[in-house]
Amino acid sequence: MCALCGVLGGKGHWSDSAASPAVFASRTEPQTRGRERQARTRLLNAVLKSHGIVVKDWSGSSYLLTGRTGRTAIVDTIADLWPAAERLAGRAIDPLDEHYLATLAKLS
């Protein structure tokens, strides 16, 4: 638990393991993990923009989602993030949806 904000430690997600073998087993390179987390937050914002959702990294342990109406949700992992994002957006987020993919393709 974080002593400052009282957040209970999350259960982690498989993608939290960094891709690099050096970080993989020991998880002793916070700088790399921090950078990966920043990169992920940027990507999450990119893919959720069309749904009107803004994502912020919260203390490196959770994600704070804000919808168009200002409603917020805090989630621990990206597995928990999608259902929360769908609730805030009021519609499904489907990576196999043709229109959604077309919107994303324009970003790259």
- Tell me which residues touch another protein (CB under 8 A): 12-15, 17-21, 24-25, 36, 39-40, 42-47, 78-79, 81-83, 92-96, 98, 101, 104-105, 107-108
Structure tokens that stand for 57 in this block: 């990294």
Query: 3 vs 105, which CB is nearer to another protein?
Result: 105
Kindly state the smallest distance separating residue 88's Cβ from another protein, in Å. 14
Kindly state the smallest distance separating residue 4's Cβ from another protein, in Å. 23
Cα(79)–Cα(1) distance, integer angstroms? 20
Yes or no: say if 84 and 53 are a contact pair by the CB < 8 Å rule: no
Cα(70)–Cα(50) distance, integer angstroms? 16
